[in-house]
Amino acid sequence: MSLQGNLLVAQSGGPTPVINASLAGVLTEALNHEDSIPEIFGGLNGIHGILKEDLVDLAAESQLTVRALRHTPGAALGTCRYKGRRPGDFDRVLQVVEAHNIRYFHYIGGNDSQDTAFKIDTLAKERGYDLRVIGVPKTIDNDLPLTDHCPGYGSVAKYLSATVREMALDNAAMGQNDFVSILEVMGRNAGWLAASTVLARRKDKSASDAPHILLLPEVPFQAEAFVGRVLEVLKSNPHCFVVVSEGVQDEAGNYLGADTSSADAFGHAVLGGAGEYLRTLVESRIEGVKARSAKLGIAQRAASHLASLTDVDEAFLCGQAAVQAAVAGESGKMVVLARIEGKDHYSVKTALAPLGEVANGVKAFPANWIGSDRMSVELPFIKYASPLIQGEIALPFENGLPRYAQLAAVRVKKTLEPFKS
């Protein structure tokens, strides 16, 4: 089982508050196996940089940097959205891998990234090159199949829930009746993030507390039903808090706010987004109501300052588990998180799932966790999500702001001809 060779780790897709914690996990665990793994390389900008042989020496990073990676947003190695689809791409990856005697490959990413890892694993096997490929899950969207949840989700859920709780206190303070507060959150295909904001409710307040209305992409938007629900909430509350996924579509399949009839001075469609759309809808349809919308955008997936310690620890654990599995002889798998049932407290263990199955699946928000009004979520979801936001990180501050890691990024000498893409 013992395979001697170097390790390559790379990051892919949209950053999360904890994708660097997974990198720290890979790096920390790899250092425990110096007999098998003499060198630890990082690929810059995912598969894109690997094709260009843009590698850095991760073992050269200081312990301080590795520790700081656990709470640093962005993606320290850089990521890409490139899937590696051009002819010759995967041949080139294998060339780079062989040139640097890489025997361990870890790709930290979502579906598309795991599909890339799957193809690399398949090609290596075809060529008879002994390469251990183990993926590390990552996505704030929480829509990867076969895992209980995804590293990245818990931290964004925590940040969004705290933000809803804070905004709701502001709304309540304003002493206005008939105020509608709208928050647009990420989630192009799945409503996991919008749903998570239900955690903002204080236990003693239950459904009368914000958020009052959750709009998930799994439910086609119906303006009449939505306006009716807002009116209902405003009967018993001075303000109504709406959380909307950016990916909500109407029954014709159009994204809310993607109104091509309104064009700017240059003839381009103005896409105000789902939140702005709802704000206009509410103000135009309900007499005397004032509405405000906010859109956190990239801020939500970069808000490491409010990361969930549970999430950070699990992201690190997934990185460690990937290296352990590879050293133990596994390949063509992704690390998944499995919840240990039957305990009185939340706990998880890691397991492995075939890359090919991860790559082609999407885990939608369960239909039976959506309330009968189609604008709320049920208690089993709260039980599922609540443990994922627990615990706070000890964030170092410098001059009033969070201090985040920067890699020294010592380049590895290139040995191949430049890649002609």
Q: Which lies closer to a copy of itself via its Cβ, residue 17 or residue 191?
A: 17
Give the separation between CA 322 and CA 220, rounded to whole angstroms: 38
CB of 109 to a copy of itself, least distance (A): 12
Distances in Å between the alpha carbon of 392 and those of 39, 259, 265, 395, 412?
Answer: 33, 41, 47, 9, 36
Give the separation between CA 336 and CA 158, rounded to whole angstroms: 21
What would the two tokens of residue 57 be?
A: 């020496």
The answer to whether residues 199 and 229 touch, using CB atoms and an 8 Å cutoff, is no
CB of 168 to a copy of itself, least distance (A): 8
Give the separation between CA 91 and CA 84, rounded to whole angstroms: 10
* CA-wise closest residue to 22 among 321, 384, 265, 345: 321
Is the peptide bond preceding residue 238 cis, with omega within 30 degrees of 0? no
Give the separation between CA 418 and CA 84, rounded to whole angstroms: 17
Does residue 311 have an active-site annotation?
Answer: no
Q: Which lies closer to a copy of itself via its Cβ, residue 52 or residue 132?
A: 52
Angle between helices 153-173 and 309-327 in degrees, nearest 10: 170
DSSP 8-state assignment for residue 301:
H
Q: Which lies closer to a copy of itself via its Cβ, residue 77 or residue 326?
A: 77
CB of 294 to a copy of itself, least distance (A): 3
Give the separation between CA 270 and CA 267, rounded to whole angstroms: 9
Beta strands in 276-393 (DSSP E): 290-295, 333-339, 348-354
CB of 211 to a copy of itself, least distance (A): 13
Q: Which lies closer to a copy of itself via its Cβ, residue 58 or residue 199?
A: 199
DSSP 8-state assignment for residue 59:
G
Q: Which lies closer to a copy of itself via its Cβ, residue 65 or residue 72?
A: 72
Q: Which lies closer to a copy of itself via its Cβ, residue 80 or residue 123?
A: 80
Q: Which lies closer to a copy of itself via its Cβ, residue 259 or residue 357?
A: 259
CB of 401 to a copy of itself, least distance (A): 5
Coil, helix or strand at residue 40: strand
Per-residue HEC secondary structure of 208-231 comes to HCCCCEEECCCCCECHHHHHHHHH
> What does the buried/exposed string (b/e) look like for 322-354 if buried means 16 or more CB atoms within 10 Å of the residue's CB?
bbbbbbeebbbbbbbbeeeeeeeeeebebbbbe
CB of 78 to a copy of itself, least distance (A): 4
CB of 281 to a copy of itself, least distance (A): 7
CB of 83 to a copy of itself, least distance (A): 14
Q: Which lies closer to a copy of itself via its Cβ, residue 37 or residue 291?
A: 291
The answer to whether residues 187 and 247 touch, using CB atoms and an 8 Å cutoff, is yes
Report helix, strand and coil shares of the chain as percent, to nearest 5: 40, 20, 45
Coil, helix or strand at residue 284: helix
- The catalytic residue among 141, 143, 209, 311 is 141
* CA-wise closest residue to 21 among 235, 409, 318, 376: 318
* Residues belonging to the active site: 141
